[in-house]
Structure 1
Amino acid sequence: MLIRPERNLPTTIDELLGPGLSQRLDRLDVMSRKVFAGRLPGERRSKRRGESVEFDDYRDYTPGDDLRRLDWNAFARFDRFFVKLFRAEEDLGLHILLDCSASMLAGGGDAPSKLLFAHRLAMALAYIGLVNQNRVSVATFGHAGADPLRRLAPLRGRRQTVRVAKFLLESLESSEHAAPSPEADQRGRGAFERALRAFGLAREGSGVVILVSDAMVAEGVESGLSYLVGGGGLDASFVQVLAPSEIAPERAAQSGLVGDLRLTDAETGRGVEVTMSGAIIRQYKQRLDAHIERVQRACAARDVGGVSLTLASRRRGYPSTPRWRSSGSPE
């Protein structure tokens, strides 16, 4: 893969989403393939008041919730805020998991980096969820440090898009300028698995979870996805993001990827000397195809909807269409 820093990182929500995109996103909504326990088939939250008086359950207060739904008797007993839920409501949660490891820096130049694309996708998904009054939470992983996840607590409502944008812009800035570390290999080994395990253990409630990652890990894909969906109650999807130079490295010859080279691991800084030849490139592409198929099988076996996307490039010759879709994912 080729690592090129982005020339101009977005600094506002409008730059992160792109011009005019928010108006188009206003027409979209989050849907689930599953009917979760305790909800009636096909129901969504009504935007009209007073449609149902059948009490169903409590949940913790989320910033942006309607204050009229607070149960003050419960607050007096437990010194915590609880919101009342009613039978005619589907309190759908949208959980977004975003890979920020150094391999996501691949791209740049003619195509956006995987990291930038992933943050833009996360912002668009969060925007759709928030404007439709769904609970939205965002978590990033792959950063330097011991914590497997960096979390933004669940939010609701259009006004909360500013908080999500701030969280994602800070994540993008810190990830874009992260330096390779010799300790990253040991620290990062199994980081994908640990992050999904931490999410699976800590999540509350049912809903839709969307994982955005390049899945460039030697181990932990299968076990990580098992942790993600193991507790049930989630409709999971996996967006695997790949850079054009990862799919067709021979097209990168104009960037100097020919002959005797020293290739450096983006995450650890360790290097290896190679002679780039047609045979080496063919072997690489065979291993990449096998890895993509491995991710596909792991998703299909766990009923995780999935799609692998190659970022568009202005340079001709790069494939830019989805490589696979697992069973249950929308066409």
Structure 2
Amino acid sequence: MSERLFNEDFFKKLNKINMHINFKLSSGTQGGRKSKAKGVSVEFSDYREYAPGDDFRRIDWNAYGRFDKFFVKVFMEEREGIFNFFIDKSKSMDYGAVNKKDTALKTVVALSYIALNNLDRVNISTMDNGNVESIKSAAGNKAFQRILRELESLEFKGSTDLAKSIKKRPLSPRGVSVIVSDFFNNQGLKDLEDALKYLAFKKQDIILVQILSEEELNPEFNNEITFIDSETNENIKMSLTPNIIKEYKATLKVYKKSIEDLAKKYGGKFISVSSGMEIEEIILGEFNKKRVLY
């Protein structure tokens, strides 16, 4: 899967960028993120007066000479970031000449690679029919190949119930949660807001990644057509006209703006991409525009 989806040049580009995180971590094992916790890493943070039990090796003798008091150096301990990926694997994601599910998997794989390469922890969960299944939590570069194998075997089927699925996933406070979906479901925006409330309660930085096919973004004029809901099998016959297509695009634009507004309400970010875009353009372009990467 890695040879088919990514080339050596792309991985070189990924090595130069990092996931942006909006807070300092106070829990988790040692990693590459700055923590609120004080520790003994190599980056100096501050001084404080010596207290019984402190390590004598951390006494600053220059400060003692100037103030006739013992001061110890305090360093900023580094912690690992925790990135939680939620992949919508409902049937509606299995659509498009350039399939939405392939773009979704490429996006998660790329972001997982970046996180693991920066000593962060990656948790990947898949969602359908209100259920959630988790790929084993992973940290370190060796975990990357296992993530590729797990994602390669995914089947996209069933329906979407984001809130029900996400609420079944226990989350540690402080982390980044990335939801990858087309956000097409019968519950509408209320379902999405319920999911965002849960993630905000768990103190997650929220990133919503919407993936739509070119057929959904720019439907062609094709006279009479039958629309079939891939998740419910309901169908509607309709005669497409330029005016109907124009109205559809306007409605889709409003819907996307509503999702973006919801994301902002809970301190999150919204990124909408076409499955026809190259993965480099998505990761190095659209994510960078939203300051998710730096």
SS in 2 for 1:155: strand
Q: 1:227 aligns with which of 192, 198, 223?
A: 198
Q: CA deviation at 1:17?
A: 2.9
Return the index of the structure with the highest Cα Rg.
Answer: 2
What does 1:123-162 correspond to in 2, within 5 Å?
Answer: 123-142=109-128, 148-162=131-145
Q: Report the equivalent of 1:14.
A: 3
Within 5 Å, which residues of 2 pair with 1:96-135?
Answer: 96-108=85-97, 112-135=98-121
**RMSD over aligned Cα atoms:** 2.9
Shift of 1:96: 1.2
- Taking a change above 3 Å as real, the CA distance of residues 43 and 18 of structure 1, as seen in their structure-2 partners, is closer
Preserved contact between residue 95 and residue 209 of structure 1 (Cα < 8 Å) = yes
- Are 1:206 and 2:170 counterparts? no
What residue identity is the alignment partner of 1:208?
Answer: V
Question: Partner of 2:212 in structure 1?
Answer: 242
C-alpha separation in 2, matches of 1:147 and 1:295: 20
> Which one-letter code corresponds to 1:154 in the other structure?
S
Out of 310, 318, 324, which is 2:274 matched to?
Answer: 310
Quick check: 1:193 aligned with 2:166? no
1:73-95, Cα deviation, whole Å (9 max, x unpaired): xxxxxxxxxxxxx9712221111
Over 3 Å counting, the alpha-carbon distance change for 1:231 and 1:167 in structure 2 is same
Q: How many residues align?
A: 245
Indicate how the Cα distance of structure 1 residues 209 and 94 shifts in structure 2: closer, same or farther if over 3 A, else same: same
- Cα distance between partner residues in 1 of 2:77 and 2:113: 24
Distance 2:206 2:235 in 1: 36
Unaligned runs of 5+ in 2: 43-74, 279-284
Give a deviation string over 1:270-293, Cα, whole Å, max 9, x none. 221111112321222222112111
In the other structure, the counterpart of 1:65 is none
In the TM superposition, what is the alpha-carbon distance from 1:155 to its structure 2 partner? Answer: 0.9
TM-superposed CA distance for 1:196, in Å, is 2.1
Please say if 1:29 is aligned against 2:18.
yes
1:296 corresponds to:
260
Structure 1 residue runs of 4+, over 6 Å off?
Answer: none
Query: What letter corresponds to residue 218 of structure 2 in structure 1?
Result: A
Q: Where does the alignment leave 5 or more consecutive residues of structure 1 unmatched?
A: 1-11, 53-85, 179-183, 315-320
1:3 corresponds in structure 2 to none
1:163-194 residue CA offsets vs partner (Å, 9 max, x unmatched): 100111011xx22xx4xxxxx5xxx36x1121
Alpha-carbon shift at residue 18 of structure 1 (Å) = 4.2
Q: Which residue of 2 aligns with 1:9?
A: none
Change (3 A) 1:150 1:38: closer
Post-superposition offset of 1:139: 0.8
- Structure 1 residue 205: Cα displacement: 4.3
TM-score by length of 2: 0.73
Q: Distance in 2 between matches of 1:107 and 1:295?
A: 22
Does structure 2 retain, via aligned residues, the 8 Å contact 1:94–1:208? yes
* CA–CA distance in structure 1, aligned partners of residues 215 and 7 of structure 2: 24
Determine whether 1:274 maps to 2:257.
Answer: no
